[in-house]
Amino acid sequence: MKKLMGLLLLLPLVGAEPAGYKYWSASDLKALATTLAPKVNAQKVALDNLANFGADRALVVHREGSGEAELHEKDADLIVVVSGEGTMIVGGTMPGSKTTAPGEVRGPSIDGGTVRQKMAAGDILHIQPKTAHQVVLDPGKQITYFTLKVKE
């Protein structure tokens, strides 16, 4: 009986996640696409901040239309496509861009992008800081992706 009681006391410790650890299953991320779709704004995007890890953070993004061009001064984006399809344009310049927050620049489009990467479920992309990038969708298409923003 003493051994059983000792084991029962340890069980809560076994299930506890260590600080800084987080797990999202593929089905968790796909379910987020369903919950985000009704929240799409006028720019045809909805997002959910999933976790903060000090300087880094995780979010999931659902798009039903092309996004703005963007550039992050200090953050790299590690993107995992959960569902849907689209094209990531990388490189070039962002005419008419504006600083929208400290270290964040947005513009209507990219001029002279050097990469046009098709994206589909399971694909992983890394975009280094200070690199213009934009998600472009064909009409009627949508895409959901997990992004880990990493300070570099």
Domain positions in the chain:
25-151
Q: Please name the residue ranges forming H helices in the chain.
A: 2-15, 26-36
Q: Which regions in the chain score pLDDT beneath 50?
A: 3-11
Residue 104 — φ and ψ, nearest 5°? -120, 125
**Cα 55 versus chain centre, distance:** 15
pLDDT at 14: 53
Give the list of residues 6+ apart from residue 147 with CB closer than 8 angstroms, or none. Answer: 58, 59, 60, 61, 77, 78, 79, 80
What was the pLDDT predicted at 19?
80
Say which CATH superfamily domain 25-151 falls into: Jelly Rolls (2.60.120.10)
Give residue 15's pLDDT.
62
pTM: 0.85
